[in-house]
Amino acid sequence: MKGAVLVAGTHSDAGKSLVTAGLCRWLKRRGVSVAPFKAQNMALNSVVARGGFEIGRAQAMQAAAAGIAPEVAMNPILIKPSGDRHSQVIVMGKPYADVGATTYQGLKDELRPIVADALNDLRTRYDVVVCEGAGSPAEINLRAADLTNMGLARAADLPVILVGDIDRGGVFASLLGTVAALEPADQRHIAGFVINKFRGDASILAPGLEQISALTGRPMFGVLPFAENLTIDAEDSLAIAAPRQDVDGGTGTLDVAVVRLRWMSNFTDLDALAREPGVRVRFTRSPVDIERADLVVVPGTKATVQDLQRLRDDGLDLALQQRAATGDPILGVCGGYQLLGEHISDDVESRAGAVAGLGILPITTPFERDKVLANVHGHSAFLQSAVGGYEIRHGRPRPTDPASAAQPLIVRNDGEPEGCVAGATIGTSWHGLLEHDEARRALLRWTAAQRGLPFVPATIDFHAERERQLDRLGDLIEDHLDTAALLELIERGVPTDLPDLLLERAATC
């Protein structure tokens, strides 16, 4: 089969990322060569794809669902907010511009052919491309310059599946209103609906399904149930939820408090910890939580200096400093590592120049305009294992005093030191470190020893668990959607017999 489809949502976090991934996994299991695509992504969770290019984390997750390596064509434009009303624009995996919202709109004409070329490239190499929209396609104030929703659907002649989240309520109004708000030429690409996160009696929902199809002239492809304990890499902090532990094994409990930064990035670094039995991971801005937790994690941030100031404004700097002084474990990752240091010199992101850090780790971090983008490997004597991860940063942490007592956390395969261990505080620039099972268990054992707790980690395989979760997505598609209708839609493309839904008519329904 050959074709492409666009998955749009009535709003952010409606479930389009998971439906896209589920479609990719379902098609892969049918033997179809399939790839994901998102023209424009706004997210602070990203990864380094092959070749040293930065793309959104969601597209890497969807590539894993498709059984292929992530590549830059899957996400040609990535927007990373780096402060109030300011963002870094990544184009084809590399920094392209620093813009405000109005300035970015002026860039779209030059970005449009880049998007088209990336999608065409994937379509020539894969049988099916499953595209994901962004936000809502009915953001009428943005429609004229749209790159990723109906603008893409019309430019690439894509049928659109519209996903609505019933768990938030108002799903029928959201589906109907989204279609009605579109101009007729856009409406003709909306081929049908999927309702997501349903829990309850299906017989009660059934009349609504019939009515929405009658009102819009479009089929309901199916209703996905609310999937308990489904843990898939999230695109942004809207998707942060309470963690779960459903794997047997291990003894004891550990409490992990993650400092919830305003511009927190790559918080998926904590997913592997959250899946450990007996480990409770929660995001917080409470000084009391920082004081009482067994391990505190300061995660990555796209705005290190601004988040450092917010820590000071909220008194969290004192809580972290007190914790370090009493010898209780702290882990800093990337931007979190940088702000734990003594000094930051940033003329790139915040343009604040020299700024004092929290003074917990003996490092200084100058920022450079060139961005480090790399997949990395090494060995950690502290964690007693081979380790790996990826780097996405402008900061270049280095020892303030090479003769200090601090030790590197890792020795890279090229022999260079990475990270820092000073007392009970450790830091690293590497994302993805905790996805390595032995390194994660060593961190948990060390934390338990520092806190005097009888905790023994389980022996879960993080990557096998991630595959199991992706298979669950494929199962949801196969078990609950009209897969025959979906295959026909992908192969035949945009239906030719869909009615226009006029706003005047919608108001009388």
222's torsion region: left (phi>0), alpha (psi -120 to 50) or beta? left
Which domains, from first to last, does the chain contain? 3-231+466-493 (3.40.50.300), 248-459 (3.40.50.880)
Which of the residues 189, 334, 420, 436 is marked catalytic? 334
| Burial environment of residue 385 by CB neighbours within 10 A (0 to 12, 13 to 18, 19 or more) | middle
| CA dist., res. 461 & res. 272, Å (int) | 10
Q: How many CA atoms lie within 13 A of 334 on its CB side?
A: 31
* Token pair listed for 143: 């429609």
| CA dist., res. 179 & res. 191, Å (int) | 10
Nearest Cα to 25, choosing from 464, 465, 486, 473? Answer: 473
Looking at residue 231, its pLDDT comes to 73
Query: For 45-100, what is each residue's pLDDT tens digit?
Result: 999 999 999 999 999 999 999 999 999 999 999 999 887 778 999 999 999 999 88
Q: Judge contact between 361 and 381, C-beta under 8 A.
A: no
Identify the segments of the chain with pLDDT beneath 70.
234-251, 405, 503-509
| CA dist., res. 470 & res. 21, Å (int) | 8
Looking at residue 331, its pLDDT comes to 98
Nearest Cα to 428, choosing from 466, 462, 463, 378? Answer: 378
Nearest Cα to 6, choosing from 191, 235, 238? Answer: 191
Q: Judge contact between 345 and 354, C-beta under 8 A.
A: yes
Looking at residue 504, its pLDDT comes to 59
135's torsion region: left (phi>0), alpha (psi -120 to 50) or beta? left
DSSP element (H, E) containing 233: none
Which of the residues 189, 394, 431, 436 is marked catalytic? 431
Buried b or exposed e, range 250-266, using 16+ CB within 10 angstroms? beeebbbbbbbbbbbbb
Give the torsion through C-alpha atoms of 359, 363, 369, 372, to 10 deg: -120
| CA dist., res. 237 & res. 241, Å (int) | 9
DSSP string over 128-178: EEEEE--S-TT-TTTGGG-SSSHHHHHHHT--EEEEEEGGGS-HHHHHHHH
| CA dist., res. 44 & res. 53, Å (int) | 15
| CA dist., res. 83 & res. 210, Å (int) | 46
Q: What is the 3-state secondary structure (H, E, C) of 278-299?
A: CEEEEEECCHHHHHHCCEEEEC
* Residue 24 annotated among the catalytic residues of the structure: no
Query: For 435-483, what is each residue's pLDDT tens digit?
Result: 999 999 999 999 999 999 999 998 889 999 999 999 999 999 999 999 9
Question: Position 279: which residue type?
Answer: V
Question: Position 238: which residue type?
Answer: L
Helix, strand, coil % (nearest 5) of the chain? 35, 30, 35
| Burial environment of residue 59 by CB neighbours within 10 A (0 to 12, 13 to 18, 19 or more) | buried
Q: Kindly list the distances between the CA atom of residue 207 and the CA atoms of 9, 172, 215, 216, 485, in Å, as whole numbers in the listed order.
A: 22, 11, 12, 14, 21
* Residue 431 annotated among the catalytic residues of the structure: yes
* Token pair listed for 240: 């942060």
Helices (H), 275-386: 287-292, 304-313, 316-325, 335-339
| CA dist., res. 87 & res. 300, Å (int) | 16
Q: How many CB atoms lie within 10 A of CB 106?
A: 10
Q: Kindly list the distances between the CA atom of residue 50 and the CA atoms of 70, 93, 318, 501, in Å, as whole numbers in the listed order.
A: 7, 10, 41, 44
Strands (E), 146-299: 160-165, 190-198, 220-225, 254-259, 264-265, 279-284, 295-298
